[in-house]
Amino acid sequence: MSETIVYGFPRSTFVNIVRLVLTHKDVAYRFEDLEPVMGRSEHLALHPFNRVPIFGTATSPFMRRAPSSATSTRCSRALG
Ligand SMILES: N[C@@H](CCC(=O)N[C@@H](CS)C(=O)NCC(=O)O)C(=O)O
């Protein structure tokens, strides 16, 4: 199974919701701090709408565009 990666910045509540669910589910993940490159090409290549969190694998990142209230539910469902 590919390594799980959460892209974001440490002060983001949305990012920390995803990290909280992963920790609760005992899912190992790597955190990539995008704070220095927010809004730049490196970030926009992962999420063209200039947002975080971005949740995925090294080969297949996918953006989170759900309403904030759905973030933890969808993350939890995706992990089973
Ligand atoms: N609906 C999105 C909202 C994500 C969001 O607004 N993230 C903020 C950080 S907390 C962001 O990316 N802000 C970047 C900006 O406004 O430039 C979700 O639930 O994931």
Query: Tens digit of pLDDT for each residue in 25-60?
Result: 999 999 999 999 999 999 999 899 999 999 887 677
Which residue in this structure is represented by tokens 């704070």?
Answer: 35
In the chain, the number of structural domains is 1
Pocket of ligand 1 (CB under 6 A): 12-14, 38-39, 50-53, 64, 66-68, 71
Query: Which residue of 7, 15, 51 sits with most ligand 1 atoms within 8 Å of its CB, as the best mutation to test the pocket?
Result: 51
What is the Cα–Cα distance from 6 to 20, expressed in whole angstroms? 11
Return the CATH number at 66: 3.40.30.10
| Domain extent at residue 38 | 4-79
Residues 59-63 have a mean pLDDT of 67
Query: Which residue owns the Cα nearest ligand 1 atom 11?
Result: 51
Between CA 40 and CA 3, with CA 60 as vertex, the angle to 5 degrees is 105
pTM of the model: 0.78
